[in-house]
Structure 1
């Protein structure tokens, strides 16, 4: 046992703004769910050390544990121990963000996981208020970081893009009233069994290599090639692009004659940046290509973008939908949001439906379309027949 004391801190920046995205009730529930995940993360990350005290506040978006560093006889410096804890914790917090807030929203939430080693003098202060205040001072002294698991190397991504070895899978989109399949979302995966098979790992690696737009355009290109002339009549196809790739879509992708195609904007932007996409969207519409807005909450943050870009479909994210069957206050928020979106001319799609109770609750909320494992998991393109 040593005399070195450390603090493992998990912090979501601007957690109060989540109410603007999801609405008050859903934001509170999401933060409570993430708090439970953060508490488990602290326990797992510090399993080899002696936890002295812990603190959590879902309202502030902060969780931390004060611990005594244990070596177990290994000849390691304290900073090496801290670095190992931080690395493992970052992988875990990344998974927690995606699980609680969904793939798109979870990826854009600014979060920080840090391990601080306290000086011996500070470590002797065993009062909770002292170490918590010390941790807050340390957090204020460093810039906020987006927690990203940078799995895969630049060489891996370059090889995958050169070989076009990205796999395309399709997940059904159904009509809520009768569960009839009306569309498919084209999703991409890295090579099977590779370290970057999962989509979040694939695009994290592409981002780390500075190849995000290249990866997005290739995924879209392959989805268009592989689905040409195979979808049943009247069924639409959505493909995912971020704003930079969307701006290039009309010139880089074979969209002519693909009137069944709808592009999902997967990254929400500040209103002044979204304004730069208005002409891009208009040009795509002249080609017969429609627009969907992915991962939308129930608060006010995304509605200005909806008014500006006028998407054909707005997808309510999994953070909202997972609470659909948890009480009337949640369904009231969903119903109000659906009504507001319908007045703007949008169809509303519920994303991440997994339970029959969620489906039943959505039927009374003005939701027309739905997607999730309840209706079907992503499958190979070859499984879709005209």
Structure 2
């Protein structure tokens, strides 16, 4: 939202980051294909990397572009565009990186062929970076940024046996637990719904959700794991929600597109699907038909992490969610100053004009609660209102 304060202008101008793509094994291509064919392959990879960078940063401003085809390194400096929503640079970079890694994965096989491409993966990262630091490094990432440890799956490299553990979970031999966290109405803190959260087998290396889904992703079983967790959450809550309360189920785009065919939704009118994966706008447009079909069958949609990554006003206009969840990092800024609160209030007003209720995620303090109420936020969840607990502890068995 416009503001004439000079300090605010400096803060916005400083919101720059770097997006970099690299093929660590590029030097080996000459031995595989020969010098001329290797140069041509790296040029084609450079074109593909350039197209991917522009797709990922379509909502932002590319300031400088550094392309080194021969070295297998491509990077840009970009400036965050706010588009009327309060945004956090760190969260935005995280969303760009998460989406970019998935989109970059098939590129080597497309250019080099399946055999070589599988052995020559691309690394991708997005990080906040000041423009003067970029200039000091000669228009590229600082040394060490594209090392293997920075390109590992969320939570670090996967342990031996993770693939077997994923298969055991999907086969039902090891249990996924369903936790519920309350969603409250801010004006009186009345519980209006629950978000279903999944945890891997207790005490196992896959207990935490980032490890669980990273392992599933590494095995090519992300869709299966998302649907498995959703099925369990639906079964464990069927007929047990108090009247007027809803259940929010987290799904990525692929799972959302097949939800009505793959999930036990018969007779449910208390389910809200929460789109959790960040995706560029063209991905949101591709998903709009599925969302329209879900809405026609009585299922609601929430958009996760609004104000971070790709979840901005354009995404809201395309998907028309009933609830927009403010990014947790934006929520943490609530109550820390009039300027930050004005940004949040402006975002809330924009979302209201598009027909959304606004939910603040990750509220931990009374000061945040009070500030978000003053900004017009209607719904909230966070430790201030209740921590996640097992479904059987939250829902009385007498309602089954």
TM-score for the superposition, normalised by structure 2: 0.65
For 2:268, the equivalent position in structure 1 comes to: 258
For 1:20, the equivalent position in structure 2 comes to: 82
For 2:158, the equivalent position in structure 1 comes to: 151
Confirm whether residue 202 of structure 1 aligns to residue 212 of structure 2. Answer: yes
Are the counterparts in 1 of residues 85 and 312 from structure 2 also a CA contact under 8 Å? Answer: no
Distance, in Å, in 1 between the alignment partners of 2:227 and 2:270 is 18
SS class of match (1:363): helix
CA apart distance, 1:268: 2.4
Gaps of 5+ in 2: 1-16, 20-75, 102-123, 127-132
Distance, in Å, in 2 between the alignment partners of 1:236 and 1:155 is 35
CA apart distance, 1:336: 0.6
For 1:56, the equivalent position in structure 2 comes to: none
Confirm whether residue 237 of structure 1 aligns to residue 256 of structure 2. Answer: no
Are the counterparts in 1 of residues 183 and 193 from structure 2 also a CA contact under 8 Å? Answer: yes
Are the counterparts in 1 of residues 179 and 388 from structure 2 also a CA contact under 8 Å? Answer: yes
For 1:338, the equivalent position in structure 2 comes to: 348
Distance, in Å, in 1 between the alignment partners of 2:273 and 2:197 is 12
Distance, in Å, in 1 between the alignment partners of 2:313 and 2:220 is 31
Q: Which of residues 152, 162, 169 in structure 2 aligns to 1:160?
A: 169
Distance, in Å, in 2 between the alignment partners of 1:160 and 1:182 is 31
CA apart distance, 1:300: 8.4
For 2:319, the equivalent position in structure 1 comes to: 309
Q: What is the number of equivalent residue pairs in this alignment? A: 292
Are the counterparts in 1 of residues 279 and 310 from structure 2 also a CA contact under 8 Å? Answer: no
Aligned ranges 1:146-295 → 2 under 5 Å: 148=154, 149-152=156-159, 153-163=162-172, 165-295=175-305
SS class of match (1:366): coil
- Relative to structure 1, is the Cα distance of residues 248 and 22 closer, same or farther in structure 2, using a 3 angstrom cutoff? same
For 2:364, the equivalent position in structure 1 comes to: 354
Distance, in Å, in 2 between the alignment partners of 1:131 and 1:104 is 26
- Relative to structure 1, is the Cα distance of residues 141 and 202 closer, same or farther in structure 2, using a 3 angstrom cutoff? closer
Distance, in Å, in 1 between the alignment partners of 2:168 and 2:320 is 38
Q: Which of residues 322, 334, 337 in structure 2 aligns to 1:324?
A: 334
Distance, in Å, in 2 between the alignment partners of 1:353 and 1:230 is 26
How large is the Cα RMSD of the aligned pairs? Answer: 3.4
TM-score for the superposition, normalised by structure 1: 0.67
Are the counterparts in 2 of residues 314 and 346 from structure 1 also a CA contact under 8 Å? Answer: yes
- Cα deviation, 1:13-40, whole Å, max 9, x if unaligned, reads 367454538967x53xx65xxxxxxxxx
Gaps of 5+ in 1: 1-10, 32-99, 114-127
Distance, in Å, in 2 between the alignment partners of 1:16 and 1:269 is 18
